[in-house]
Structure formats: structure tokens, C-alpha cells
């Protein structure tokens, strides 16, 4: 079979997406290949399809057990024999899998990087034809990446020990230029094809909110999206426990995940989420990599992550089926301090020398600063993300909070002068809250203790609302007219450009939301018009879709697999619109291949027939 026949038979698609075909042809020609593709763009197919066509075994290097299990489970469901080798297997299971691999039963084997140079695995690999080594989540090889894993450095050592060098491919969803360069250098790729398809996920809506009560905002969001599957990311285990318990007491179907739970509970909770028994997962960033759940309709961040790479990777777990999904970040100033603490106490890079460790720490602080600016900007949020990864757009996407908010230009020169003047007068000794309380004229014990009530700018901006003062303070940082130290106390400091504000060298003009509440309501109404995953369905189509979901759940329980592995929501929506009445019609449905038709087709045809029969 050629790649097009494999695509249809096993995966149910008629056409490749952008760049998939080029990447596949590059691998099949024997060329090292790098694909940088956004989450949900189908990068797995780029190495899975060549693996079925090449002579020998493809080894997929993968960092997490959950990622391996999910992908191997999906392949087996599609009729492709695959296996994984990691610490979750008993020794008997491990040796049995190796023996089956020697017999040629598996064209694809997923393996943890730590296993590569063990005696047993090396013996297998040296005496077996390895056609390709595919490095998944390739950013893990770079110390400048957000998920550096020293075990990934074993990959090159392993390849050098093989009697014949295989094709090497590498794939990732998030990589800055520095990380891309590291992937090429560290993996020692030879004349590779490097293809970046772009980082944009147009189906995702982005928003940032700074509510007084984050929990109330999250609860309100869940009430407005009943039954939808989503992830709520929290910065610490303690917050995960608190939020999960509160939501559970309120009657929401939630579960939790963090590194402090036992392995058994983490597995159980993850399964409850994946199998749709509990639709909402509350978790730290320990959860998510390798979770290919296609029907996640929202990702809420109950706190700001430490860098854009982490945020975009976590947000990207929404809408993997290509349908509409929402990514909302609930920001508070304390998030900066919490993340700074994580950076200062990072134990992940102990194997690096002191100088390199200091460089990595400084890079982490800079990335935190850019993540913080994302929460302040009034520009297009999608454009901000894409510019971070080196892409430049029109600064208007029409599908983020800022683009859907009406703005007006406001002259804040006098407010800015008062804030900067206060920082200078107190000789740059205090934090944001003290500065803002001073210019607002607060009569608190701390203000009196620091004698800030004697500052010449005390009470100068008493008539300006506190929220506006904070907006201007954030904007001054964004423009680098002020800066805040990266330490526990977060002291406000002047910059080389602060003098421009004090001397009135230029007007300070901010874009501020004019009708934010109305725009938010319009966004919500727009969403309500679309019944399922942002796709408009008629009443009859909606009814059929619900019946198909019930059937999918029954089959998933019978086969002990997650529902989305049987068919995705996108496939069921397509089925509801096409309403196939025979095999030929069913094979026109996106996501239905010949193998899955043989397994499930008749049951779904019968369900469609029952619904549309008079």
C-alpha cells in the first residue's frame, strides 16, 4: 500500500493536512526530517505512516508512559500492531514484547529514552533492522526548552551503537529558534528537511481575566458549559486540592492530578477523565503531555504558567479535534511571585555546571517576564503568542478576547508621571502595591510604617480608580518604562527610559477596553448559537449526534478504550450531517476507514437508520 491507501484504510482520511505529505515523502526518501507542527496538526501520522512502509522497525522515542499508551492504544484500535517498552511493564511483559518485536510482529515500537542503552534493549536493537528513530516531543533534548530531559541525550549515543544508521526524524509542537537549533545540533541530523507549519490554532479562543475571585469565575464558567470536557490547570498541588474539593462539593464531575498522588490514584483519575466518567480534570502541569483526548472543549488556567511555551502547550490540549475550544487564563499578581519561587528553587538542572545553570535560570526569568506581559497586553492575544515563536500576523485574529473587545485610546501621561515620580522619590525601595497605595492616598499601617504618607506624590492620584492605576503600572512595565525585580519582594525600579516620563518627553497613550462586558456577552451568545463543538447542527442532527454518542460510549465500555478512540466528536458530527445509509456512504465520513468500518460500521449505520426512518 502507498501512503494514501494507508491514510484511508487505517485512519479514515481522504487527504493529508498541510505539510504532512511533504514530511512523509522526506522520510520515505531516506532523509532526516524535522517537523514543528502545532498540537492537533497530526504530526504522529508523519512518522506512523512511513513506519508501515519501511523495511524494518520504527522506534518512537517518547518521554511519558501516558503518551505511549495513548498512541499505541490508538494504533491497535486502527488495526496496526504496535507496542511500548517502559517502566510500567513487568519484566516478563518486557521480555515478551521484545521477543514479539524480534519476530517482526510490530512495525512500530514506542520506547522511553532511558531504555535505549540498557543491555537487553541494545542487544535487541543491534540484531534487528531499525528503519527509523522518530523523536517525539523533540524539544525535550534542549536545555533551553521548557521540558528538558537529560535522558534524551542518550538518543545520539544509542544511534551511534547501531550497526547501520537509520533515518532520524524529530517532531515537536513548541520550539523557539534556539530550541530548533539545539534539536538539529544535539541529534546530529544529516542534511535534514526542516519544516515549520506554523504555530497557529485558529479554532482556539484565547482570553485573559483578572477577577477578584478566581474560584467564583471558574465555577461560573463550568455552570455555563455543562457536561463539556475540560482541564483546569493550577500552579500548586495545594490549589489543585482546594479547587477540586470545592467543585466536587458544588456537584461538578471533577477529578484531580498532581505528583503528590499515588501512581494508582493518578492512573485512576486520568482514566476517569479520558473515559469521560468525570469530564473535568483539575491538575498541575504534571498532567497532559501525551493526553490525546480529542473532545477537550476548554482549558482554564487558574494562575499564570511560568513561560509561553508551557502555556501554549497546555492550552493546546483543547480542541485537538479541530473544533472550537476556549483557553482562558485567570491571572493574579501573586502568580509572578509563585513562578519566581519555582525558578529560584528549580532542581531539574542539577546535572548542569554552575555557569550554564545560571544562564538557564536567567533565561527562565526572561521567559516569565514575557509570559507576564501576555496577561497585560491589549493587543491581539493570538498575535502575541505567534510573535513569541517567530511568526508575524496582522495583529487581529477575530477570535480572542482583545480582538472582540472595543478599545479606545486614553492619555495616561499624568498618571504615569505620578507613579514613576513616586518610585523615584522613595528611592526605588518598595513593591507595586506600596507604590499604588501611596499615589492613591491609602492610610494603612504599612504606608505609615514606611513613611510613604510623606512621599511628595502621596494622594496625588486619589481620584483615579485602583484598577486603572494597576493597568497603567502594568503598561509601564510592558513599555519598559518601569521594571520589577525578579525576587521574593518584587521591588519596582526605574529604567533607562523612565526619565522620558518624568520630563514629559512624550505622551503615554494606552488602549483601554471601552465595552468589554458587551463584547464578552456577544462572544457568549455567538458560542451558544453553535450546538456542538462550534458547529451548527439542526435539531434533527443534534438528536442523531446524541444517539451516536451513546452508542460510542457503549462500544468504548465493551472494548475498554476511551470513547474518542472509537470515533472522535468530529467524526460523529460528520456522520450526523451526512447520515450514511450504506458502507460507501459511511466511508465518506471523515475519520471512518475500512478497518474501523469493519469493526463498528454496521452498528453505527443501524443507529443512523433507526433515527432517520419514518
pLDDT digits (tens, 9 = 90+) for 222-261: 999 998 999 999 999 999 999 999 999 999 999 999 989 9
Is residue 531 pLDDT above 60, yes or no? no
Residue intervals of the chain classified under CATH 3.40.50.300 are 3-196, 204-388
Is residue 519 pLDDT above 60, yes or no? no
What is the C-alpha to C-alpha distance for residues 174 and 3, in angstroms, rounded to an integer? 26
Is residue 566 pLDDT above 70, yes or no? yes
How far is CA 189 from each of CA 13, 134, 155, 205, 448, rounded to the nearest angstrom? 31, 12, 12, 36, 63
Topology of domain 407-514 in CATH is Arc Repressor Mutant, subunit A (1.10.10)
Render pLDDT for 371-399 as a digit per residue (tens, 0 to 9). Answer: 999 998 888 999 999 988 888 777 888 89
Complete edge-to-edge strand list for the sheet that includes strand 204-209: 204-209, 325-330, 296-302, 229-234, 280-283, 254-257
465-468-471 Cα angle (round to 5): 155
Look up the CATH number of domain 204-388: 3.40.50.300
Q: Which span out of 2-16, 133-147, 226-240 was modeled with the highest average pLDDT?
A: 226-240
**Residue-level pLDDT at 391:** 83
* Beta-carbon contacts of residue 177 (< 8 Å; ≥ 6 apart): 390
More confident residue, 374 or 14: 374
What is the C-alpha to C-alpha distance for residues 521 and 543, in angstroms, rounded to an integer? 27
Instruction: Summarize the confidence of residues 566-593 as an average pLDDT.
Output: 91
Is residue 108 pLDDT above 60, yes or no? yes
Q: Select from 302, 254, 217, 225 the least CA-distant residue to 533.
A: 225
Instruction: Summarize the confidence of residues 438-444 as an average pLDDT.
Output: 95
HEC readout, 305-328: CCCHHHHHHHHCCCCCCCCCEEEE
The number of CA neighbours under 13 Å toward the Cβ of 205 is 22
Residue intervals of the chain classified under CATH 1.10.150.80 are 539-612
Cell (9 digits) for 580: 450514511
Among the four given CATH numbers 1.20.1440.230, 3.40.50.300, 3.90.79.10, 3.30.420.40, the one describing domain 3-196: 3.40.50.300
Topology of domain 539-612 in CATH is DNA polymerase; domain 1 (1.10.150)
State the pLDDT confidence band at 107, using cuts at 50, 70 and 90: very high
Is residue 29 pLDDT above 90, yes or no? yes
Through-space distance between the first and last CA atoms of the chain, rounded to whole angstroms: 42
Is residue 552 pLDDT above 80, yes or no? yes
Q: Which span out of 13-17, 315-319, 534-538 was modeled with the highest average pLDDT?
A: 315-319
Cell (9 digits) for 202: 485558529
**Residue-level pLDDT at 534:** 55
More confident residue, 190 or 478: 190
Is residue 36 pLDDT above 80, yes or no? yes
What is the C-alpha to C-alpha distance for residues 198 and 206, in angstroms, rounded to an integer? 17
More confident residue, 421 or 352: 421
Residue intervals of the chain classified under CATH 1.10.10.10 are 407-514
Cell (9 digits) for 521: 456577552
**Residue-level pLDDT at 193:** 95
State the pLDDT confidence band at 533, using cuts at 50, 70 and 90: low
Instruction: Summarize the confidence of residues 26-52 as an average pLDDT.
Output: 91
What DSSP assignment string belongs to 14-78? SS--TTHHHHHHHHHTT--EEEE--TTS-HHHHHHHHHHHSSSEEEEE-S-HHHHHHHHHHHHHT
State the pLDDT confidence band at 61, using cuts at 50, 70 and 90: very high
How long, in residues, is the chain?
A: 614
- Percent helix, strand and coil across the chain, each to the nearest 5: 50, 15, 35
Instruction: Summarize the confidence of residues 180-206 as an average pLDDT.
Output: 91
Report yes or no: 124 and 98 within 8 Å, Cβ to Cβ.
Answer: yes
State the pLDDT confidence band at 518, using cuts at 50, 70 and 90: very low
Percent of the chain beyond pLDDT 70? 94
Instruction: Summarize the confidence of residues 25-46 as an average pLDDT.
Output: 90
Amino acid at each position: 500500500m502507498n501512503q494514501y491507501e494507508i491514510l484511508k484504510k487505517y485512519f479514515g482520511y481522504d487527504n493529508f493536512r498541510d505539510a504532512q505529505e511533504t514530511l512523509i515523502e522526506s522520510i520515505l526518501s531516506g532523509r532526516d526530517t524535522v517537523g514543528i507542527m502545532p498540537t492537533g496538526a497530526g504530526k504522529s501520522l508523519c512518522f506512523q505512516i512511513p513506519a508501515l512502509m519501511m523495511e524494518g522497525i520504527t522506534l518512537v522515542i517518547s518521554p511519558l508512559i501516558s503518551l505511549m499508551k495513548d498512541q499505541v492504544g490508538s494504533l491497535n484500535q486502527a488495526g496496526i500492531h504496535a507496542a511500548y517498552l517502559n517502566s510500567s511493564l513487568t519484566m516478563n511483559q518486557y521480555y515478551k514484547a521484545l521477543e514479539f518485536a524480534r519476530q517482526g510482529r510490530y512495525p512500530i515500537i514506542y520506547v522511553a529514552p532511558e531504555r535505549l542503552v540498557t543491555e537487553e534493549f541494545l542487544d535487541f536493537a543491534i540484531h534487528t533492522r531499525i528503519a527509523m528513530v522518530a523523536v517525539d516531543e523533540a524539544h525535550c533534548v534542549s536545555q533551553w526548552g521548557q521540558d528538558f530531559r537529560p535522558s534524551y541525550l542518550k538518543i545520539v549515543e544509542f544511534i551511534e551503537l547501531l550497526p547501520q544508521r537509520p533515518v532520524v526524524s524529530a517532531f515537536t509542537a513548541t520550539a523557539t529558534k534556539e530550541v530548533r537549533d539545539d534539536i538539529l545540533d544535539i541529534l546530529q541530523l544529516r542534511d535534514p528537511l526542516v519544516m515549520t507549519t506554523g504555530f497557529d490554532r485558529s479554532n482556539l479562543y484565547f482570553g485573559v481575566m483578572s477577577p477578584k475571585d478566581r474560584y467564583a469565575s471558574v465555577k461560573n464558567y463550568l455552570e455555563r458549559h455543562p457536561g463539556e470536557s475540560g482541564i483546569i490547570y493550577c500552579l500548586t498541588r495545594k490549589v489543585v486540592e482546594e479547587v477540586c474539593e470545592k467543585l466536587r462539593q458544588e456537584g461538578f464531575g471533577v477529578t484531580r492530578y498532581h505528583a503528590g498522588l499515588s501512581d494508582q490514584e493518578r492512573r485512576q483519575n486520568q482514566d476517569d477523565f479520558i473515559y469521560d466518567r468525570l469530564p473535568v480534570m483539575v491538575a498541575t502541569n504534571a498532567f497532559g503531555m501525551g493526553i490525546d483526548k480529542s473532545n477537550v472543549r476548554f482549558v482554564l488556567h487558574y494562575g499564570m504558567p511560568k513561560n509561553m511555551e508551557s502555556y501554549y502547550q497546555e492550552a493546546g490540549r483543547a480542541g485537538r479535534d479541530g473544533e472550537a475550544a476556549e483557553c482562558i487564563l485567570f491571572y493574579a499578581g501573586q502568580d509572578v511571585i509563585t513562578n519566581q519561587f519555582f525558578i529560584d528553587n528549580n532542581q531539574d538542572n542539577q546535572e548542569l555546571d554552575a555557569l550554564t545553570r545560571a544562564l538557564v535560570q536567567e533565561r527562565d526569568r526572561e521567559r516569565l517576564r514575557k509570559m507576564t506581559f501576555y496577561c497585560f497586553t491589549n493587543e491581539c492575544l493570538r498575535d502575541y503568542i505567534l510573535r513569541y515563536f517567530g511568526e508575524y500576523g496582522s495583529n487581529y485574529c477575530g477570535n480572542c478576547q482583545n480582538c472582540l473587545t472595543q478599545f479606545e485610546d486614553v492619555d495616561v501621561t499624568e498618571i504615569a508621571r505620578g507613579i514613576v515620580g513616586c518610585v523615584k522619590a522613595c528611592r526605588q525601595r518598595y513593591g507595586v502595591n506600596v507604590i499604588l497605595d501611596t499615589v492613591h492616598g491609602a492610610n494603612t499601617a504599612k504606608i505609615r510604617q514606611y513613611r510613604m504618607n510623606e512621599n511628595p506624590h502621596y494622594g496625588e492620584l486619589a481620584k483615579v480608580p485602583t484598577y486603572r492605576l494597576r493597568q497603567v503600572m502594568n503598561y509601564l512595565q510592558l513599555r519598559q518604562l518601569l521594571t520589577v525585580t525578579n525576587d521574593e519582594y518584587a521591588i519596582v525600579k526605574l529604567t533607562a527610559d523612565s526619565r522620558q516620563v518624568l520630563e514629559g518627553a512624550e505622551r503615554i497613550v494606552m488602549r483601554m477596553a471601552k465595552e468589554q462586558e458587551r463584547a464578552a456577552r456577544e462572544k457568549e451568545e455567538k458560542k451558544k448559537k453553535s450546538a456542538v463543538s462550534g458547529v451548527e447542527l439542526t435539531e434533527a442532527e443534534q438528536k442523531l449526534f446524541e444517539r451516536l454518542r451513546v452508542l460510542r460510549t457503549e462500544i468504548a465500555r465493551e472494548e475498554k478504550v476511551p470513547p474518542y478512540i472509537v470515533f472522535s466528536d468530529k467524526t460523529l458530527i460528520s456522520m450526523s450531517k451526512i447520515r450514511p445509509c450504506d458502507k460507501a456512504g459511511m466511508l465518506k465520513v471523515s475519520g471512518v476507514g475500512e478497518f474501523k468500518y469493519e469493526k463498528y460500521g454496521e452498528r453505527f449505520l443501524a443507529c443512523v437508520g433507526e433515527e432517520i426512518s419514518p
